[in-house]
Structure 1
Amino acid sequence: MTCYSLSKGSTPLLISMPHIGQKIPETIADLMTEEALLIKDTDWYIDKLYEFADEIGASIIKPDTSRYVIDLNRGIDGINLYPGADSTELCPSSTFNRTSIYLDKKSVSKEEVDKRIAEYWQPYHDQITNTLADIKAEFGFAIILDAHSILSTVPRFFEGQLPDFNWGTANGASCSTDVINSIKKIDFSPYSVVWNDRFKGGYITREYGDPENNIHAIQLELSQRTYMNESEFTFNENLAMQVKPILKTMVEALLNCAPNIVVKEAS
């Protein structure tokens, strides 16, 4: 039984949605606070926003399990990807508003962390690795879009209100300029756009982005105010109808992007 779903496409693009999962195993849920069981920090409705992507040829991978169980966009080494900034752990002990996830207010034990890595984290990342390898073998290159969303105001992580489209490329290291330029050509108005600001790309972007080996990774952190009633955690169809055409244009740009293939001479 897998802990994720994979829809295989017919193009060089893989879309990862690591924070969309909502399931919490009963044995873990029994240890959690009522607040945690609301899983408010989920990347809500991302699959609904990108529902067109499967039809136009993108591969899509998404987990079943909540980020409160294990965060698939963190490395198993526990290193904070944003030194000096606040961040939640691989197996989070607190929510975005700093309330405890567990009734005993403790962090997850190393033994339990290792268990969750084996059951949830490793299978997801093995599949990403294998899928990118298959795509690269077929097309000569692969692109992975790591799709996220977040509340527009989260004081724990940033001051004020977050811009609408937050692009991360590990400061340009995770993908080629061809990929970046394919996005920068798009007219995002009336939405605000920033590059490599508060969100420069998480573990998936930094780990898999390897343009010298023809694998390009880019992350989008979309403000939930662009498609949700944030205070109610509900989908706003009117707002979504306005942002979805831009998301589709964006995905099509990545689908049609053809980065120069790096050919390395045999040593």
Structure 2
Amino acid sequence: MMPVAVTKGDSPVILGLPHGGTFAPDALLTRLNDRGRALSDTDWHIAQLYQGLLPGVTTVEATFHRYVIDANRDPAGASLYLGANTTSLCPTTDFDGLDIWTAGQEPSADEIAAREAQYHAPYHAALAAEVERVKARHGVAIVYDCHSIRSTIPFLFAGLLPVFSIGTNDGQTCASQVSDAVATPCFATKPFDAVLNGRFKGGWTTRHYGQPGSGVHAIQMELAQRAYLAAEAAPWNYAPQIAAPLRAVLAKILQSLDTLARSGALTP
């Protein structure tokens, strides 16, 4: 299976989807324990959630699971959230801090390097190519990084996660107009709740690509899965009726970003 699937569009907006894939090689699956093989930390149905919301949007989607390698982590292995619980480039635990590998079967340093070359690098090569293509066409590009997560994970954060967690690394990865275009609908829509640069400030993708001075803006959206799944547990069924209000807000956000980028207001 190819590690990345790309749909090219003519919008200045690019959707990155690093965590929706569920592929893992059979040889790797046999080394995961029962907990790991459940793949519970997937951004379930994230591509379906965003499908059709913005005509002409470009999508770059990882097909592999984050337990193979995490496409939203620094390939050098550096932590993005110093002092906070998180998972690594090739996770050894799940979001609850529990082991996902059979004892003695954790990936070695050489294996991690091989996975980086086979999966992580092709995903980011494809994303970088789309950023350059879109920027050449429009003068600017907006990388909107799509994520979702269970609403309650004590190992990672206290309490109930807001439906919308927006990350710009404290304003460094995009112009304020981009942040406002995303945040304003989120904070204005009831009964949804939102936070800007809270527990999730943007992963490696957002921080790596977000160079607003050069015309590339990046922002991360972490969604609480209660807003679109039937239940936050296996079998992780997508619920269209539950998702409909969320999709309406997301459509408004993406259209606002598209209009903003086409207006020339973000041109360096």
User: Normalized against structure 2, the TM-score is what?
Assistant: 0.94
Structure 2 counterparts to residues 94-113 of structure 1, below 5 A: 94-104=93-103, 107-113=106-112
Aligned partners of 1:163 and 1:56: how far apart in 2? Answer: 28
> 1:241-256 counterparts in 2 under 5 A?
241-256=244-259
Q: Which moved more, 1:171-180 or 1:234-243?
A: 234-243
Q: 2:4 aligns to what? A: 4
What is the identity percentage for the equivalent residue pairs of Structure 1 and Structure 2? 35
Point out the more displaced range, 179-188 or 144-153: 179-188
Match of 2:128 in 1: 129
Q: Following the alignment from structure 2 to structure 1, what is the Cα–Cα distance between the partners of residues 24 and 180?
A: 39
* Structure 2 residue aligned with 1:41: 41
What is residue 19 of structure 2 aligned with on the other side?
19
User: Which residues of structure 2 form unaligned runs of 5+?
Assistant: none
Question: What is the TM-score normalised by the length of structure 1?
Answer: 0.94
- The worse-fitting range, judged by mean Cα deviation, of 182-191 and 133-142 is 182-191
2:243 corresponds to: 240
Aligned twin of 2:183: 184
Task: After superposing the two structures, state which structure 1 stretch, 55-64 or 149-158, moved more.
Answer: 55-64
Instruction: Name whichever of 99-108 and 168-177 sits farther off.
Output: 99-108
Give distance in 1, aligned partners of 2:30 and 2:172.
Answer: 42
Partners of 1:72 and 1:231 in 2: how far apart? 23
Measured after TM superposition, the shift of residue 234 of structure 1 is 1.8
Counterpart for residue 214 of structure 2: 213
Runs (4 or more) in structure 1 with deviation over 4 Å come to none
Contact 2:15 2:58 in 1 (8 A): yes
Q: Deviations over 1:160-191 (max 9, x none)?
A: 10011000001000000121122233232220
Helix, strand or coil for the counterpart of 1:126? Answer: helix
Query: In structure 2, what is the equivalent of residue 71 of structure 1?
Result: 70
Once residues 64 and 136 of structure 1 are traced to their aligned partners in structure 2, the CA distance between those partners, rounded to angstroms, is 25
**Aligned mates of 2:215, 2:61 — CA distance in 1:** 23
Alpha-carbon offset, residue 86 of structure 1: 0.7
Q: Distance in 2 between matches of 1:76 and 1:260?
A: 29
SS at match of 1:220: strand
| Shift, 1:250, TM fit | 1.1
Give the secondary-structure state (helix, strand or coil) at the position aligned to 1:167: strand
Quick check: 2:183–2:196 contact (8 Å CA) kept in 1?
no
**3-state DSSP of counterpart to 1:118:** helix
Separation (CA, whole Å) in 1 of partners of 2:239 and 2:167: 26
Q: CA RMSD in A?
A: 1.3
Instruction: Please give the alpha-carbon distance, in whole angstroms, between the structure 1 residues aligned to 2:103 and 2:201.
Output: 33
Aligned to 1:198: 199
Count of residues in Structure 1 that have an aligned counterpart in Structure 2? 261
Q: Given that residues 93 and 105 in structure 1 are in contact (C-alpha distance below 8 angstroms), is that contact kept between their aligned partners in structure 2?
A: no
Q: Report the counterpart of residue 261 of structure 1 in structure 2.
A: 267
Determine if contact 1:179/1:254 at 8 Å carries over to the other structure. yes
2:232 corresponding residue in structure 1: 230
Aligned to 1:149: 148
Letter in 1 for 2:39: I
Identify if the C-alpha distance between structure 1 residues 26 and 225 changes in structure 2 by more than 3 Å, giving closer, same or farther: same
Contact kept in structure 1, 2:10 and 2:57, CA below 8 Å: yes
Structural mapping, 1:155-174, within 5 Å: 155-174=154-173
| Segment drifting more, 159-168 vs 250-259 | 250-259
Unaligned regions of 5+ residues in structure 1, if any?
263-267
2:173, 2:217 within 8 Å by CA — same for their partners in 1? yes
Distance of 2:183 and 2:63 partners within structure 1: 32
98-107 or 207-216, which deviates more: 98-107
Q: Secondary structure at the match of 2:14?
A: strand
For 1:204 and 1:62, how far apart are their aligned partners in 2?
13
2: distance between equivalents of 1:137 and 1:4? 22
Indicate the residue corresponding to 1:265 in structure 2: none
SS in 2 for 1:135: helix
